Amino acid sequence: AAGMFLRLLSDIQWRAAHPKWRRMTGSQRSTSTTAEPPPASLPAQAQVVICGGGILGTSVAYHLSKMGWKDIVLLEQGRLAAGTTRFCAGIVSTARPVSIELKMAHYSNKLYQQLEQETGVQTGYMKTGSISLAQTQDRLISLKRIASSLNVMGIPCEIISPKKVLQLHPLINIHDLVGAMYVPEDALVSSANVSLALATAASRNGVQIHERTSVSHVTIQKGQVTGVETDRGRIQCEYFVNCAGQWAYELGHSGEEPVHIPVHACEHFYLLTHPLQKPLSNSLPTVVDPDGRIYIRNWQGGILSGGFEKNPKPLFTEGRNQLEIQNLQEDWDHFGPLLSALLRRMPGLEALQIMQLVNCPESFTPDMRCIMGESPTARGYFVLAGMNSAGLSYGGGAGKYLAEWIVNGYPSENVWPLDLKRFGTLQSSRTFLRHRVMEVMPLMCDLKVPRWDFQTGRQLRTSPLYDRLDAQGARWMEKHGFERVKYFVPPGSDLLDLDHSKTFYKPDWFDIVGSEVKCCKEAVCVIDMSSFTKFEISSTGDQALENLQYLFSNDLDVPVGHVVHTGMLNEKGGYENDCSIARLSKRSFFMISPTDQQVHCWAWLKNHLPDDSNLVLEDVTWKYTALNLIGPRAVDVLSELSYAPMTAEHFPSLFCKEMSVGYANGIRVMSITHTGEPGFVLYIPIEYALHVYNEVMNMGQKYGIRNAGYYALRSLRIEKFFAFWGQDLDAFTTPMECGREFQVKLDKGMEFLGQEVLLEQKQNGVYKRFTMFILEDHDTDMDLWPWWGEPIFRNGRYVGKTTSSAYSYTLERHVCLGFVHHFDEKTGEELVVTTDFINQGEYEIDIAGQRFQAKAKLYPFSSLFAQRRRKDEVELSGYQGE
């Protein structure tokens, strides 16, 4: 009924406002007395074909047309706004923990607010505000963290007391609340009407909209989209945008060359009631009670309330398709716990009469973040899907970024956290998706503490040493499907309770990681780092070197056996990837990059390398097990195992050599550790992995060797001010901005990508600067720990956000890394950030609303480096993902 209501409302408005479009598209929104006009025929070609007439498809069309692209066709298999969009609860909420999602939601809110004025289509936009409730202190902390990031973006937001909650919303039972967050500018809107308004505007700008047209598949030739096949004929196109919502996965797999879009639908329930006796005001704020797993908004004098239950019901796993989403079965028993939560929150509603329980599918993704971007395998194939039930909040901003991406080649913000290329084929299994979304949907409401891990879809990719390490007490996390050790629980110590680790304060692994760090500093540790992405690039002639010299900013024309740290930059000088490249021979290179670069880096290289059969790019990630030997005694262990001198004279830093270790030959040994500590990484053909590991552990015993995990590695790299890609570095950060000028060879005698921008920055300065902060008055035991995303204040003014943080066991202080900007005090304009600007400020880091004094540094503590630093050879790289 709700859907129908929205539907009817929009139909009426539509006909009144836009007869032209109706005629053109042959839309069938007419009463039974009117004869149906035949549908307009499809064009033979278009520049862009968008599949999906929901909020996302119309938003992409709207923004593309605004950016001046006109030759666009939008295809909808049913009717506009008839899918999930039709059932959307209509809440526009900006309180999002991920910064880029927050920005999208903020933009959407502003867009929807003026949409009615722009298009003449009533959207029902109503600024009601929203209240997010906290039943626990931990929940309040997480709300305070969000409030901090909203505030520095200029979005009004307040942490309020339970009493204030009652003033804002008289129906709320506040007795079990410890506080709440109030976002006064959050809004309600009819998502179907927003979609129609966007379609209206797009249509006015020349976008052709065709309903009742299904895309059967997309044709791709030589890795480039060439057109779409529909049930009404073929359209040739350069760009295809898959906004098919819950059908995005099927559509991606329908062609000969599949495009993997890991989304899976779950049933989502919400309740509609009749009006209260004294109808609720339509300006009453929306209530989100994450601890009760529910949201409640006013709806036509009554309420609309839904939630994210602990036991979601995935659906369409087998890929059943249908034209429009039929209203699925209401399942009151399933909704029961949410109803209990609702009545607990608003006991006064007991006598309120039920109108309907709506069941509509929502698409979820494996990591709870939406999916956008270009397919890694098919150029021109763009995707915008998997909104994790926030399609309305993200729709405007997501459409804008994707339109920019299509038109400019890149969006105006760093969208890597949402990039389709963070996934590969490995996240595309239906079983994996089914299991993972059952975990993701409840997570919408679960408390997300630092370093939480997904529990489902695990143990997919593992090192050959997995069982050995697990037996020794390894605790695991997952990156790109690969199991990686966090730390090792020492034998005899009590098993750590998972729940105890769920804290915003000092975690229970603190001492364990501390002892691993100590061992790295004083003896030797071994960390299995097999998950890193490993490519080999080789050629018959000089093609490999020539192409790499263009794609990488450092000079790769180094003697054979040298290792080079270098950025893989885009034309704006930003990091597309950050790697270590070893020159194996004159004509072949071995490239190591972060784990989650496997798809992105591959696509980037494929797109930029010439189509030359004499130039071979190979992904050898699976071929090697990587053991990182960190510590002053690593050299002793390795030389005893190889009968080769490993001292700095024979094996200097940043060096690579194939040698034998134990019985195994052909081990690629590199004198890097990704931590700044002395040591080596051994790249071992996987069949030798167990042998080499056993030899290392046996030989290492007398040197005090032990296993260590990524948490120790992270602490080591952060205290030495090592940035890593994906966390600190992104496509919008240049080497100049993060103190890595020494990794850029502007004078290497050949042009490279991003060179111009870097030259310009070298001359004129940078607008942000990667800075290290040492927390001064922070009590490790008692205070909240920093995580990332904390606002940085300079002389009381906001200048940027942290990107990563760790406790330094050596400094006995927390270290935060982040970017400092220089906003003009009056205009807010970004100014050049100078060394003096950094050094002459008083800094504070805001952790959940509490500010801690911090000392800013542009260079690491030299005392932390065991080896003498030489400017060129210093290892400033680390890509252990978090």
Partner 1 sequence: FYLTPPQVNSILKANEYSFKVPEFDGKNVSSVLGFDSNQLPANAPIEDRRSAATCLQTRGMLLGVFDGHAGCACAQAVSERLFYYIAVSLLPHETLLEIENAVESGRALLPILQWHKHPNDYFSKEASKLYFNSLRTYWQELIDLNSGETTDVREALINAFKRLDSDISLEAQVGDPNSFLNYLVLRVAFSGSTACVAHVDGVDLHIANTGDSRAMLGVQEEDGSWSAVNLSYDHNAQNEHEVERVKMEHPKSEEKSLVKQDRLLGLLMPFRAFGDVKFKWSIELQKRVVESGPDQLNDNEYTKFIPPNYHTPPYLTAEPEVIHHRLRPQDKFLVLATDGLWETMHRQDVARIVGEYLTGVHHQQPIAVGGYKVTLGQMHGLLTERRARISSVFEDQNAATHLIRHAVGNNEFGTVDHERLSKMLSLPEELARMYRDDITIIVVQFNSHVIGAYQNEE
| Minimum CB–partner distance for residue 356 and partner 1 (Å) | 7
Pick the piece of the chain touching partner 1 (CB under 8 A) from 337-345, 376-384, 421-429, 474-482: 337-345
Beta carbon nearer to partner 1, 168 or 343 = 343
Question: At closest approach, how far in Å is the CB of 336 from partner 1?
Answer: 4
**Residue where the block lists tokens 């940043």:** 654
Residue (1 or 16) nearer to partner 1, CB:
1
Min separation Cβ 298 and partner 1, Å = 15
Q: Are 676 and 717 in contact (CB under 8 A)?
A: yes
Nearest to 383 by CA among 240, 520, 484, 495: 240
Single out the residue of 336, 409, 645, 666 in contact with partner 1 (rule: CB under 8 A). 336
Give CA–CA dist 40/24, Å, rounded.
6
**What are the DSSP E strand ranges found in 735-865?**
768-775, 791-794, 797-808, 813-821, 843-847, 850-857
How does strand 850-857 pair with strand 314-315? unpaired
Cβ proximity of 307 and 269 under 8 Å: yes
Helical (H) or strand (E) element with 401: helix 391-408
- List the x/- string, 69-108, binding to partner 1 by CB under 8 A: ----------------------------------------
Under 8 Å between Cβ of 519 and 544? no
Q: Which residue do the tokens 């050629």 mark? A: 539
Nearest-approach distance from CB 343 to partner 1, in angstroms: 5
Q: What's the rounded Cα separation, in Å, for the pair 508 and 450? A: 13
Sole window of 112-120, 338-346, 401-409, 620-628 interacting with partner 1 (rule: CB under 8 A): 338-346
For partner 1, give the closer residue by CB, 171 or 407: 171
**Segment near partner 1 (CB under 8 A), from 16-24, 141-149, 340-348, 617-625?**
340-348
CB of 346 to partner 1, least distance (A): 9
Torsion region of 373: left, alpha or beta (phi above 0 gives left; psi -120 to 50 gives alpha):
left
Min dist CB 593 to partner 1, Å, is 51
Centre a 10 Å sphere on the Cβ of residue 282 and count the other Cβ atoms it contains. 14
* Near partner 1 by CB under 8 A: residue from 35, 68, 175, 351: 351
Among 224, 321, 340, 701, binds partner 1 (CB under 8 A): 340
| Residues 599-628 interacting with partner 1 (rule: CB under 8 A) | none
* 3-class DSSP state of 388: coil
CB 586 within 8 A of CB 560: yes
Cβ proximity to partner 1: between 351 and 495 the closer is 351
Q: Residues near 746 by Cβ (< 8 Å), separated by ≥ 6?
A: 755, 758, 759, 762
Q: Which is nearer to partner 1, 5 or 332 (CB)?
A: 332
For residue 283, what is the enclosing H or E element?
none
Instruction: Tell me the Cα Rg of the chain.
Output: 28
SS3 705: coil
The three-state secondary structure class of 583 is strand
332 binds partner 1 (CB under 8 A): yes
Q: Which stretch binds partner 1 (CB under 8 A): 118-126, 143-151, 332-340, 453-461?
A: 332-340
Cα–Cα distance between 858 and 210 in angstroms, integer? 56
173 in contact with partner 1 (CB under 8 A): no
Residue 564 and residue 358: Cα distance in Å, rounded? 58
Closest of 291, 266, 299 to residue 389, by C-alpha: 266
Q: Among 25, 191, 273, 547, which residue interacts with partner 1 (rule: CB under 8 A)?
A: 273
Shortest reach from residue 437's CB to partner 1, in Å: 23
Check binding of 187 to partner 1 (CB under 8 A).
no
CB nearer to partner 1: pick between 349 and 407: 349
Contact with partner 1 (CB under 8 A): which of 8, 44, 354, 560? 354
Q: Say if residues 264 and 320 touch (Cβ distance below 8 Å).
A: no
Among 505, 517, 508, 513, which Cα is nearest to 778's?
A: 505
Residue 279 in contact with partner 1, rule: CB under 8 A? no
Distance between CA 670 and CA 652 in Å, rounded? 10
Contact between 327 and partner 1 per CB under 8 A: no
Applying CB under 8 A, does 5 fall inside the site for partner 1? no
Residue 329 touching partner 1 (CB under 8 A): yes
Q: What type of residue is 69?
A: W
| Size, binding site for partner 1 by CB under 8 A | 22
> Contact between 349 and partner 1 (CB under 8 A)?
yes
Residue 143: both structure tokens together: 């709300």
H helix intervals, 720-779: 755-764
Q: Where in 355-414 is the site for partner 1 (CB under 8 A)? A: 355-357
Question: Is residue 712 part of the contact set for partner 1 (CB under 8 A)?
Answer: no
Contact status: 746 vs partner 1 (CB under 8 A): no
For partner 1, which is the closer residue by CB, 354 or 866? Answer: 354
Give the nearer residue to partner 1 in terms of CB position, either 218 or 342.
342
* Segment lying near partner 1 (by CB under 8 A), choices 43-51, 237-245, 346-354, 736-744: 346-354
Coil/strand/helix, residue 414: coil
Q: Does 276 bind partner 1 (CB under 8 A)?
A: no
Question: What is the distance between the alpha carbons of residues 214 and 298, in angstroms, rounded to a whole number?
Answer: 36
What is the contact mask toward partner 1 in residues 526 to 545, using x (rule: CB under 8 A)?
--------------------
Burial of 827 by CB count in 10 Å (0-12 exposed, 13-18 middle, 19+ buried)?
exposed
Q: Is 16 in the site for partner 1 (CB under 8 A)?
A: no
One of 343, 489, 558, 620 touching partner 1 (CB under 8 A): 343
From 333, 497, 499, 611, residue interacting with partner 1 (rule: CB under 8 A):
333
339 binds partner 1 (CB under 8 A): yes
Residue 334 CB, nearest approach to partner 1 (Å): 10
Near partner 1 by CB under 8 A, which window of 52-60, 351-359, 564-572, 651-659? 351-359
Sequence-separated (6 or more) residues with CB below 8 Å from residue 333: none
Residue number, 350 or 872, with CB nearest to partner 1: 350
Q: At its nearest, how many Å lie between partner 1 and the CB of residue 95?
A: 26
Stretch that binds partner 1, among 51-59, 183-191, 348-356, 462-470 (CB under 8 A): 348-356
475/490 Cα distance (integer angstroms): 11
DSSP secondary structure string, 137-162? HHHHHHHHHHHHHHHHTT---EEE-H
**Does the protein bind partner 1 through residue 353 (CB under 8 A)?**
yes
Report the C-alpha gap between 453 and 499 in whole angstroms: 12
> Does position 825 bind partner 1 by CB under 8 A?
no
Assign 843 to helix, strand or coil: strand
Tell me the window of 45-53, 326-334, 404-412, 817-825 that interacts with partner 1 (CB under 8 A): 326-334
- Piece of 51-59, 329-337, 513-521, 855-863 that binds partner 1 (CB under 8 A): 329-337
Residue 35's SS3 state is coil
704 near partner 1 (CB under 8 A): no
By CB under 8 A, is residue 342 in contact with partner 1? yes
User: CB–CB of 804/867 below 8 Å?
Assistant: no
Question: How distant, in Å, are the alpha carbons of 583, 678, 729, 814, 874 from that of 646?
Answer: 19, 12, 33, 34, 18
Among 36, 231, 324, 331, binds partner 1 (CB under 8 A): 331
For residue 4, state whether it binds partner 1 (rule: CB under 8 A). no
- Please state whether 90 falls in left (phi above 0), alpha (psi between -120 and 50) or beta: left
Minimum distance from residue 332 beta carbon to partner 1 (Å): 4
Residues of this chain that bind partner 1 (CB under 8 A): 271, 273, 329-333, 335-336, 339-340, 342-343, 349-357
